[in-house]
Chains A and B, each alone.
Chain A
Amino acid sequence: MELSIGKALNAGLRAAMDDDAKVVLMGEDIGRLGGVFRVTDGLQKDFGDQRVMDTPLAESAIVGAAVGMAYRGFRPVVEIQFDGFVYPAYDQIVNQVARLRFRSEGAVKVPLVIRIPYGGGIGAVEHHSESPEAQFVMTPGLTVVTPSNAHDAFWMMRQAIASDDPVIFLEPKQRYWDTGEVGDEAGIGLHQSRVAREGSDVTVVGYGPVVKTCLAAADEAEASLEVIDLRSLSPLDLGPVMDSVKRTGRVVVVHEAARTLGLGAELATRITQECFYSLEAPVQRVTGYDMPYPPCRVEHDHLPSVERILDAVDVTGEF
């Protein structure tokens, strides 16, 4: 079945709600409007306003109330309307959601999914284009995932809702309208990375919105690029990355988030630790710059582009 990423997410939510009456959706504008990106379109009509709840505008309350519902045995899926709006809920996520299982020595489950449309490239105003993933990856107790295609959007949503751990589900908003085939089976687990395209010269590692950019770079590159889609940012599945690096000896890590202490820093460290004798060149990073997300008229100079990825590929070849 061919679906856009947005429609695949909608289908994933619908399937999870059909499967389990304890799955409840909450967020601002997700009911009658269907969400500002229409990801929850039609769900309130079909499941009622008790299972698809339009909430007051208060991010900390959306997440905090979901914690209370989890205490009561529900499996809430909440929407944070935009990435930059997650910070009012940051305390609840980091201090409550992520820690309750640990503090209760396993007695309290928080099977909560926090959906966040994230990333740039849509010409938005301030606070609508952020990539906050590292803030959550550095918080033990949270699972952080992001699909890059329609198949993963559908299946990873279902897997995230089925997980007994809290999941930060980052939806690459720039790709909501990209279409792709959704297969009949998940294929791999929520926490597994995958080889998106095989190659032999340079390993390019990305996730979420930049996977498409990496694949476009691989189309244009003279060298043979192997593209890895991480899918899960926490926990990381580095097996396919390490296998690839051991063959290619060259790595480019790509993400939209700012460079310093971004996920690329962790990946470069781990690759250096585990593949030191295979490396032919230092790990290169293509990232957003260390500035607040810029005015959108210049966002395409800020975001990783095919050209910048190819340039980094060239740099790895100079060693």
Chain B
Amino acid sequence: MGLPISQTLAPDGELVAAHDFTPEDLRGFHRDLVLARRIDSEAFALQRHGELGLWAPMLGQEAAQIGSGRALAPNDFVFPSYREHAVAWCRGLDPALLLGLFRGTSLGGWDPAQYGYALPAIIIGAQTLHAVGYGIGLTLEGKEDAVVTYFGDGATSQGDTNEAFAWAASYHAPVVFFCQNNHYAISIPLERQTRVPIAQRAAGFGFEGVRVDGNDVLAVHQVTSEALAKARSGGGPTLIEAVTYRMGAHTTSDDPSRYRDPHEADAWAERDPLLRLRTLLERTDPGFAEFDARVQAEADELGAHLRDVCRNLPDPDLAELFEHVYADLPPELVAQREEVRSWS
């Protein structure tokens, strides 16, 4: 029904559409996909070892995130949700920074301006409005940059997301709405969120919606690049629906076997975003085996780095946290800070 799904690289590793990527680009995507998956699997393991209180796995969504994340320019700005680990990787955040939130040593703790990457929103859809405001700001300043906000299929049921669509259209804001349709909002399936393909909703707000195979890193990159170019040149917002699948649980706290048919996940495993690019490279890139060995070694190093950093993340000093509640610490909070100190 409705919009077609863009695809460049089929699940069997065959190219089904033209592209402009160089062999080096393809290797770069492969490296990103492998390292992103390692960040996710290491964090998952750290949670199972009790080092993290929680983790939101992105297994299966690497191509949607790397494809879009690598399309961004340095001056673009991202308003993410809490599962965009690979986008954060593309923005240059040390993945260790992502662990603090899940270990309970920080609530974010990086400077968004440094990375062009806002603090993750845990309240579903809240960040879509921040992106619109940022986009309006860009317009007021006459800047030719773009802003991207990430959210899931569940967020499309939220008022904030729909308000963001309406506002972005109204102000012709340079916003790319990037929906990772991973088919589940915790346990609630896509069918309960919407009766039409998500991308189709954009038309009702007056802007373009596109669907892309979210497990095809090349197609995602292409579609996102086009949406960003349009935003930067005054063409207004775009809603991208990356059709993908969350292979694991919503978070480490839930159990997908209670709400999903196992055959469904098996079918999606055949569309693994890493496998299809690997198949292409093995067939077309003579030096790939050697390159891949280096990437795997790099992944091992990254994994070790994460394990090491995670266990050594310092607990914050509760008394010092008072400094960040207000720009100027009110006397009452000074007193409460001293109360905390009196107990330490």
Contacts and interface: CB of A to CB of B under 8 A. Distances in A.
Interface stretch (A99-107, A117-125, A252-260, A301-309): A99-107
A227 to B, nearest CB: 23
B330 A191 contact: yes
B332 interface: yes
A65 B118 contact: no
A179 interface: no
Q: Which of A105, A106, A164 has the most CB of B within 10 A?
A: A105
A163 B147 CA distance: 27
B325 A68 contact: no
A140 B323 CA distance: 12
B126 A58 contact: no
A97 B333 CA distance: 19
B187 interface: no
Contact of A61 (B106, B121, B132, B147): B132
Contacts of A50: 140
B interface majority secondary structure: helix
Given A56-B166, A100-B119, A103-B119, A92 B326 contact: no
Contacts of A76: 133
B140 A64 contact: no
Given A61-B160, A107-B113, A235-B331, A72 B133 contact: yes
B129 A71 contact: no
Given A56-B166, A61-B160, A64-B164, A105 B134 contact: no
Given A61-B166, A65-B167, A91-B123, A106 B133 contact: no
A82 B159 CA distance: 20
A95 B134 contact: no
A69 B137 contact: yes
* Interface residues on chain B, size class: 35 or more
Contacts of B77: 71
A58 to B, nearest CB: 4
A65 B109 CA distance: 22
Interface in A39-95: 50, 55-56, 58, 60-61, 63-74, 76, 88, 91-92, 95
A4 interface: no
A68 B111 contact: no
Interface string B101-144: 00000111111110000110101001011111111111011000
Given A68-B136, A71-B134, A191-B330, A60 B325 contact: no
Given A61-B164, A91-B126, A92-B129, A72 B134 contact: yes
Contacts of B119: 100, 103-104, 108
A104 B326 contact: no
Q: Which of B140, B147, B159, B333 has the most CB of A within 10 A?
A: B140
Nearest to B160: A60
B150 to A, nearest CB: 14
Q: Which of B121, B164, B324, B328 has the most CB of A within 10 A?
A: B324
A210 interface: no
B144 to A, nearest CB: 14
A104 B132 contact: no
Contacts of A56: 163, 166-167, 170
A141 interface: yes
B327 interface: yes
B332 A235 contact: yes
Interface of B: 77, 79, 106-113, 118-119, 121, 123, 126, 128-138, 140-141, 147, 159-160, 163-164, 166-167, 170, 321, 323-328, 330-333
12 contacts: A68-B134, A70-B133, A71-B77, A72-B133, A72-B134, A74-B137, A92-B160, A105-B109, A107-B113, A108-B112, A141-B326, A235-B331
